[in-house]
Amino acid sequence: NAGVMQNPRHLVRRRGQEARLRCSPMKGHSHVYWYRQLPEEGLKFMVYLQKENIIDESGMPKERFSAEFPKEGPSILRIQQVVRGDSAAYFCASSQEQMPDTGELFFGEGSRLTVL
Protein backbone atom coordinates (compact mmCIF):
# COMPACT_ATOMS: atom_id res chain seq x y z
CA ASN A 1 0.00 0.00 0.00
CA ALA A 2 1.78 3.10 -1.22
CA GLY A 3 1.81 6.02 1.13
CA VAL A 4 0.70 9.56 0.39
CA MET A 5 2.34 10.56 -2.89
CA GLN A 6 3.23 14.14 -3.64
CA ASN A 7 4.75 15.61 -6.75
CA PRO A 8 6.78 17.38 -7.69
CA ARG A 9 9.15 16.98 -4.74
CA HIS A 10 10.94 20.18 -5.73
CA LEU A 11 9.58 23.03 -7.78
CA VAL A 12 11.28 26.26 -8.78
CA ARG A 13 9.24 29.15 -10.07
CA ARG A 14 9.90 32.78 -10.89
CA ARG A 15 7.79 35.50 -9.38
CA GLY A 16 4.47 35.79 -11.15
CA GLN A 17 4.36 32.19 -12.38
CA GLU A 18 1.94 29.52 -11.29
CA ALA A 19 2.71 26.54 -9.08
CA ARG A 20 0.69 23.33 -9.07
CA LEU A 21 1.27 20.77 -6.39
CA ARG A 22 -0.31 17.35 -6.58
CA CYS A 23 -1.22 14.87 -3.89
CA SER A 24 -2.53 11.33 -4.14
CA PRO A 25 -3.82 10.11 -0.77
CA MET A 26 -3.26 6.64 0.56
CA LYS A 27 -5.48 4.00 -0.94
CA GLY A 28 -8.84 4.02 0.75
CA HIS A 29 -8.40 7.49 2.22
CA SER A 30 -10.95 10.10 1.25
CA HIS A 31 -9.85 12.96 3.52
CA VAL A 32 -7.00 15.21 2.35
CA TYR A 33 -5.29 18.06 4.19
CA TRP A 34 -2.72 20.57 3.01
CA TYR A 35 -0.18 22.14 5.38
CA ARG A 36 2.54 24.70 4.76
CA GLN A 37 5.86 24.62 6.57
CA LEU A 38 8.25 27.53 6.52
CA PRO A 39 11.92 26.87 7.36
CA GLU A 40 12.44 26.26 11.08
CA GLU A 41 8.71 26.54 11.74
CA GLY A 42 5.75 24.32 12.41
CA LEU A 43 3.01 23.05 10.16
CA LYS A 44 0.32 25.58 9.32
CA PHE A 45 -3.05 24.19 8.29
CA MET A 46 -4.29 25.43 4.94
CA VAL A 47 -7.25 23.40 3.71
CA TYR A 48 -9.19 20.20 4.30
CA LEU A 49 -10.95 18.47 1.43
CA GLN A 50 -13.00 15.41 0.73
CA LYS A 51 -13.78 14.16 -2.73
CA GLU A 52 -15.22 17.07 -4.72
CA ASN A 53 -15.75 19.16 -1.58
CA ILE A 54 -13.80 21.76 0.33
CA ILE A 55 -14.63 21.19 3.98
CA ASP A 56 -12.46 23.81 5.65
CA GLU A 57 -10.31 26.39 3.88
CA SER A 58 -9.86 28.70 6.82
CA GLY A 59 -6.06 28.50 6.55
CA MET A 60 -5.88 29.39 2.89
CA PRO A 61 -4.83 32.90 1.89
CA LYS A 62 -7.81 34.63 0.33
CA GLU A 63 -6.03 35.41 -2.91
CA ARG A 64 -3.91 33.41 -5.33
CA PHE A 65 -4.35 30.08 -3.53
CA SER A 66 -6.89 27.41 -4.42
CA ALA A 67 -7.31 23.70 -3.85
CA GLU A 68 -9.39 20.93 -5.30
CA PHE A 69 -9.90 17.22 -4.87
CA PRO A 70 -11.78 15.97 -7.93
CA LYS A 71 -13.75 12.78 -8.16
CA GLU A 72 -10.96 11.25 -10.21
CA GLY A 73 -7.30 12.05 -9.80
CA PRO A 74 -5.13 13.70 -7.19
CA SER A 75 -5.77 16.70 -5.01
CA ILE A 76 -4.18 19.84 -6.39
CA LEU A 77 -2.96 22.91 -4.56
CA ARG A 78 -2.61 25.80 -6.97
CA ILE A 79 -0.72 29.00 -6.30
CA GLN A 80 -1.11 31.74 -8.87
CA GLN A 81 1.31 34.63 -9.39
CA VAL A 82 3.78 33.28 -6.87
CA VAL A 83 5.82 35.62 -4.69
CA ARG A 84 9.01 34.97 -2.75
CA GLY A 85 7.03 34.58 0.47
CA ASP A 86 5.35 31.49 -0.99
CA SER A 87 8.65 29.62 -0.79
CA ALA A 88 8.01 26.79 1.64
CA ALA A 89 7.45 23.07 1.97
CA TYR A 90 3.87 22.09 1.27
CA PHE A 91 2.79 18.87 2.91
CA CYS A 92 -0.26 16.88 2.01
CA ALA A 93 -1.77 14.43 4.48
CA SER A 94 -4.62 11.98 4.30
CA SER A 95 -6.78 10.05 6.71
CA GLN A 96 -9.22 7.23 6.35
CA GLU A 97 -11.84 8.80 8.55
CA GLN A 98 -12.50 12.34 9.62
CA MET A 99 -9.91 13.47 12.11
CA PRO A 100 -9.67 13.17 14.99
CA ASP A 101 -12.33 10.54 15.39
CA THR A 102 -10.22 7.66 14.25
CA GLY A 103 -6.85 6.89 12.90
CA GLU A 104 -3.85 9.02 12.22
CA LEU A 105 -2.83 11.62 9.74
CA PHE A 106 -0.44 10.21 7.13
CA PHE A 107 1.86 12.76 5.54
CA GLY A 108 3.48 12.79 2.14
CA GLU A 109 7.14 13.69 1.67
CA GLY A 110 6.23 17.25 0.80
CA SER A 111 6.71 19.54 -2.17
CA ARG A 112 9.39 22.15 -1.73
CA LEU A 113 8.58 25.33 -3.63
CA THR A 114 11.30 27.87 -4.28
CA VAL A 115 10.34 31.20 -5.79
CA LEU A 116 13.17 33.11 -7.39
Partner 1 sequence: GENVEQHPSTLSVQEGDSAVIKCTYSDSASNYFPWYKQELGKRPQLIIDIRSNVGEKKDQRIAVTLNKTAKHFSLHITETQPEDSAVYFCAAPRAGSQGNLIFGKGTKLSVKP
Report which DSSP code applies to 59.
T
Residue among 8, 16, 104, 116 that touches partner 1 (CB under 8 A):
104
Let me know: does 37 contact 88? Beta carbons within 8 Å.
Answer: yes
Q: Which stretch binds partner 1 (CB under 8 A): 18-26, 28-36, 60-68, 69-77?
A: 28-36
Q: What is the Cα–Cα distance from 7 to 74, expressed in whole angstroms?
A: 10
Q: What gap in Å lies between CA 20 and CA 17, rounded to an integer?
A: 10
- Site residues for partner 1, window 42-101 (CB under 8 A)? 42-45, 48, 55-56, 58-59, 91, 95, 98-101
Residue from 54, 64, 109, 114 that binds partner 1 (CB under 8 A)? 109
- Give the residue, chosen from 23, 24, 33, 75, that forms a contact with partner 1 under the rule CB under 8 A: 33
As a whole number of angstroms, the distance between CA 3 and CA 105 comes to: 11
Phi, psi (degrees; rounded to nearest 5) at 111: -120, 120
* Positions in the binding site for partner 1 (CB under 8 A): 4, 31, 33, 35, 41-45, 48, 55-56, 58-59, 91, 95, 98-101, 104-105, 107-110
